[in-house]
Amino acid sequence: MNNNLKKVLVVDYGSQTTQLIIRRVREIGMYCEMITYNILPSYIKKNKPQAIILSGGPASSFEKKSPKIDSNIFNLGIPILGICYGMQITCQILGGKVKNTKKREFGKAEIKLLKSSLLFENVGKTKLSSQVWMSHGDEVTDLPEGFIKLATTEKNNIASIGNLKKKIYGLQFHPEVIHTIKGKLIIENFLMRICKLKKNWKMENFLESQILKIKNMVKEEKVICGLSGGVDSSVVAALLSKAIGKKLICIFVNHGFLRKDEEKEVIINFKKYMNSKLIYINAKSSFFKKLRNVTDPEKKRKVIGREFVRIFEIEAKKIKNAKFLAQGTLYPDVIESKKIDGAGSKAIKSHHNVGGLPKRLNLKLIEPLRELFKDEVRELGKELGLPRNIIQRHPFPGPGLSIRIPGKITNKKINILKEADKIYIDELLKNNLYNKIWQAFCVLLPVKSVGVMGDSRSYEYTVSIRAITSTDGMTADIYYFREEFLKKLSGRIIGEVNGVNRILFDITSKPPATIEWE
């Protein structure tokens, strides 16, 4: 990170919308980091943030075991904005009262501004209302000393408070969600008018600072990077290639479960857009052999992960003077792994990644995308001059098509899936749907059914198509196609792909289903 950037700190108390706070701050044009509440004092000492936003959270601030905040934080002169639980814990710690008054408010509400204040500048004239989004069971009933009410709801509940002298503010509603119409403006007012911060977060600054950082770190050593052809690894490779050129060596392991013609495209694009070395390993047959009789989804993922590491390790060891391994870890992955550490949530599936590699290879990690969200990675890719067809690519899982063939994998099934998938993606592109969808793919089911084609009976496989919208892959909604599109797609796949006679449309969101089938 560029240490000259003024830092906005978001403290996570477990809200579903904490990531959205970070998004809004970055959209406003400021650099922002998130930490969990329990490391706040040590983080402040080390990083000296200029603004602190306390997120919402599911706990009740008056309960003994609820996540707390050190009262000294409020005496450091750093402006603080507490949102929902963040406001309640501020009140609780500073001597106010928070109660469960049974006046729960969920969803849209109107607030009335009581006083003009920097926080609500240009949000509305005093006494006029503004639509906000609420989600709380507890409520602040008594304010701590030095605080005043800035806004109330129609039900006369406190909607916002502030200690103007100490620059400590609270919002009972969530300014980060889009249903709070002037929410972004409220956050911007806090950062610009109260904290006096300037907008200095731009992708080109980020690119420049990363190039400098990578150059300084790598010096004359070599960096290895696993290339998959996906957005993240392509952007990492392009960034490193720009920073260190020939000192970057990319390894592309083809496990045989890529989309149709994908390996050719990856190699062509690499030559066109990067000025580094590429080692291409065709490992199709060794992966296929290892997976021959594997039907259990977790076992498939583990076998592929292990085989990938084995092959990558052999190749990486051949490269002399390699000191670093570059990876496309994104900010949501960083947050997610922190959350898992803290909350002990259960792993749903073992995602294939190369996390075990640096330890085995004794390499230091370079993760230049660690601070970015997916759409920021796409923006960075654009800044680096990568073409739209790489930048806008849908996510593709590490184990590739193998986890889209439930049950036993055969060569015939891989080929059927490749052909069906190609037609599906072609149709999405032709109909301008590809960029409206977060991820779309076919799954080849281990189910055969009877059909009639021409005058003959058929007994063939079933393809299920999936299309979802999402922001980060953590949750997903179904993307519903028009009838004509579905009819045409189904007709094309059955007409053009040998071995398929039935198409299903998966109408399950995540949760309860995951995006991939295995």
Query: Among all residues, which ones are annotated catalytic?
Result: 84, 174, 176
* Smallest distance, ligand XMP to C-beta of residue 513, A: 8
Contacts (CB under 6 A) with ligand XMP, residues 322-361: 349, 351-353
Residue 16, both tokens: 């579903």
Q: How many CB atoms lie within 10 A of CB 166?
A: 16
Q: Which is nearer to ligand XMP, 351 or 393 (CB)?
A: 351
The residues pairing with 80 across neighbouring beta strands, listed in sequence order, are 52, 168
Task: Provide the b/e sequence for 476-494 (b: ≥16 CB within 10 Å).
Answer: bebbebeeeeeeebbebbb
- Using DSSP's 3-state secondary structure scheme, residue 136 falls into strand
Is residue 63 exposed (0-12), middle (13-18) or buried (19+ Cβ within 10 Å)?
A: exposed
The Cα 511–Cα 518 span in angstroms is 14
Q: Which is nearer to ligand XMP, 188 or 516 (CB)?
A: 516
Stretch that binds ligand XMP, among 117-125, 194-202, 242-250, 396-404 (CB under 6 A): 396-404
Task: Provide the b/e sequence for 232-267 (b: ≥16 CB within 10 Å).
Answer: bbbbbbbbbbbbbeebbbbbbbbbbbbbbebbeebb
Contacts (CB under 6 A) with ligand XMP, residues 65-104: none
Q: Which is nearer to ligand XMP, 131 or 509 (CB)?
A: 509
C-alpha distances out from residue 94 to 79, 90, 137, Å:
15, 6, 20
Q: Which is nearer to ligand XMP, 387 or 511 (CB)?
A: 511
The Cα 52–Cα 310 span in angstroms is 45
Under 8 Å CB-to-CB from 198, ≥6 apart: which residues?
A: 6, 192
* Smallest distance, ligand XMP to C-beta of residue 394, A: 8
Contacts (CB under 6 A) with ligand XMP, residues 142-161: none
Contacts (CB under 6 A) with ligand XMP, residues 416-475: 439, 473
* Smallest distance, ligand XMP to C-beta of residue 233, A: 9
Q: How many CB atoms lie within 10 A of CB 469?
A: 15
* Smallest distance, ligand XMP to C-beta of residue 396, A: 7
* Smallest distance, ligand XMP to C-beta of residue 475, A: 9
Per CB under 6 A, 515 contacts ligand XMP: yes
* Smallest distance, ligand XMP to C-beta of residue 191, A: 32
* Total binding residues toward ligand XMP, as defined by CB under 6 A: 14
Task: Provide the b/e sequence for 32-61 (b: ≥16 CB within 10 Å).
Answer: bbbbbbeebeebbeeeebbbbbbbbbebbb
Q: Which is nearer to ligand XMP, 229 or 473 (CB)?
A: 473
The Cα 366–Cα 250 span in angstroms is 14
**Which listed residue (358, 395, 407, 499) binds ligand XMP by CB under 6 A?**
395
**Which listed residue (143, 397, 423, 445) binds ligand XMP by CB under 6 A?**
397
Q: Which is nearer to ligand XMP, 256 or 473 (CB)?
A: 473
- The contact set with ligand XMP (CB under 6 A) reads 349, 351-353, 395, 397-399, 439, 473, 510, 514-516
